[in-house]
């Protein structure tokens, strides 16, 4: 599959994630995490990057950052190479540390900065090891999780000098006691709900309103490049939520029921999410609670059936007719 589209411009906002190769740990202990943060601080200064929030987990990390110079690729290349060198040298290993290239979502700042920061900060309390905890225990866990910028958002004394807190907190009353109090109250409420971010990402690469998507396409994508598959995502692909809604409406089942099936309906769901949603097999596998190879095989079986079953083709077209392609 082609690499995801990389759009860079001055002042662009990104949600950046990077996972360990084969989902293995990229931090062995606190020393690794402290080196990671030191290198992050160095890189922010060197490449003039604004960091709004971060979360470090054992096998991946999240960054929400802005690039005044439009230089995300240069920054991430230096940062990942430098940390990998440290890790390999310290732990006497060689080879790749990360699972491919970093993943970056271009974000509409005005609409999603203040929401996405919460989504990122909630990550430590959204893992398998915390799913059985009570709500009060999850709150305590988040407040005590030291490898996150959340601490500085809710406690002025825990601020880091390389984080820009003011712009996010502006939506909650400002960088003051009341703003921090409201931010934590909102985070606490989020623990018992789901922040609907993933469902709104277009083609796995952009999060924003239709106006923002059109602006990005018209401003930064020359006409001759729009035949490139990755570029077409900005207009061609639908969100996961739109695909699931159209599928469930025609099938007459919930997505939870569809995920549990092993037949043709699940194969159709996988194919639509890949072909119309622009998602990778691994992403679909996570959604459907299966291995990515199951997604590939399911789509292969569906294509084979479509060659001899015209009614099946019409059924899929009926689902797609409910999407704004």
Position 304 scores a pLDDT of 81
For 218-241, what is each residue's pLDDT tens digit? 887 655 444 444 444 444 567 788
Q: Which residues contact 34 (CB under 8 A, 6 or more apart)?
A: none
> What's the pLDDT score for residue 146?
94
Residue-by-residue DSSP string for 63-112 = EEEEETTS-HHHHHHHHHHHHHHHHHHHTT--S--BSSS-EEEEE-HHHH
> What is the pLDDT, as a whole number, of residue 279?
76
Q: What is the mean pLDDT of the chain?
A: 87
**Cα gap 195→6, rounded to integer Å:** 25
Q: What pLDDT, on the 0 to 100 scale, is given for residue 233?
A: 47
- In percent, the amount of the chain with pLDDT more than 90 equals 50
Q: What phi, psi does 19 have (nearest 5°)?
A: -110, 155
Q: What is the pLDDT of residue 138?
A: 92
On the 0-12 / 13-18 / 19+ scale of CB atoms within 10 A, 241 is: middle
**For 191-263, where are the alpha helices, taking DSSP H only?**
210-220, 229-236, 240-251, 255-260
Whether the pLDDT of residue 14 is over 90: the answer is yes
Tell me the pLDDT band of 94, cut-offs 50, 70 and 90.
confident
| pLDDT tens-place string over residues 140-191 | 999 999 999 999 999 999 999 999 999 999 999 999 999 999 999 999 999 9
More confident residue, 200 or 155: 155
Question: Which of 146, 150, 149 shows the shortest CA–CA distance to 188?
Answer: 150
Which CATH superfamily includes the segment(s) 238-325? DnaA protein, C-terminal DNA-binding domain (1.10.1750.10)
Domain ranges of the chain: 12-190, 238-325
pLDDT in tens, 253-308: 888 888 888 788 999 998 888 877 777 778 888 888 888 788 888 888 888 888 78
- For the record, the structure tokens of 145 come out as 């999780």
How far is the C-alpha of 307 from the C-alpha of 187, rounded, in Å?
50
What is the CATH superfamily name and number for domain 12-190?
Transposase IS200-like (3.30.70.1290)
pLDDT value at position 236?
Answer: 54
Residue 58 · residue 28 · CB < 8 Å: no
What pTM did the predictor assign?
A: 0.71
pLDDT at 5 over 60: yes
Q: Is the pLDDT of residue 35 over 90?
A: yes
Binning pLDDT at 50, 70 and 90, where does residue 76 land? very high
Nearest partner of 276 among 313, 244, 310, judged by Cα? 244
Query: In this predicted structure, what is the pLDDT of residue 224?
Result: 46
The encoded tokens of residue 214 equal: 């059109």
Q: In what order do the strands lie in the sheet with 50-56?
A: 50-56, 60-67, 12-19, 103-107, 206-207
* Contact residues for 226 (Cβ-Cβ < 8 A; gap 6+): 217, 232
């Amino acid at each position: 599959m082609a690499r995801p589209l990389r759009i860079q411009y001055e002042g662009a906002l990104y949600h950046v994630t990077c996972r360990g190769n084969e989902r293995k740990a990229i931090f062995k202990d606190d020393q690794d995490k402290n080196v990671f943060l030191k290198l992050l601080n160095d890189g922010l200064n060197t490449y003039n990057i604004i960091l709004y929030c971060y979360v470090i987990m054992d096998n991946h990390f999240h960054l929400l950052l802005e690039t005044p110079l439009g230089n995300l690729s240069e920054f991430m290349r230096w940062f990942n190479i430098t940390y990998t060198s440290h890790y390999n040298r310290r732990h006497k290993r060689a080879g790749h540390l990360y699972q491919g290239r970093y993943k970056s979502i271009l974000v509409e700042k005005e609409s999603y900065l203040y929401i996405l920061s919460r989504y990122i900060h909630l990550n430590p309390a959204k893992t398998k090891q915390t799913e059985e905890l009570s709500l009060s225990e999850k709150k305590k866990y988040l407040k005590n999780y030291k490898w996150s910028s959340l601490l500085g958002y809710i406690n002025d004394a825990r601020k880091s000098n390389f984080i820009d807190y003011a712009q996010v907190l502006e939506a909650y009353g400002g960088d003051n006691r009341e703003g921090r109090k409201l931010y934590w109250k909102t985070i606490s409420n989020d623990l018992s709900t789901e922040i609907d971010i993933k469902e709104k990402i277009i083609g796995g690469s952009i999060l924003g309103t239709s106006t923002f998507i059109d602006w990005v396409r018209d401003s930064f994508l020359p006409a001759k490049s729009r035949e490139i598959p990755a570029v077409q995502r900005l207009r061609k692909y639908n969100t996961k939520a739109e695909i699931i809604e159209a599928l469930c409406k025609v099938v007459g089942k919930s997505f939870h029921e569809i995920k549990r099936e092993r037949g043709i309906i699940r194969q159709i769901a996988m194919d639509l999410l890949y072909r119309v949603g622009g998602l990778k097999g691994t992403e679909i596998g996570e959604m459907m609670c299966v291995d990515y190879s199951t997604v590939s095989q399911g789509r292969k079986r569906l294509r084979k059936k479509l060659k001899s079953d015209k009614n099946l083709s019409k059924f899929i077209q009926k689902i797609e007719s409910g999407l704004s392609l």
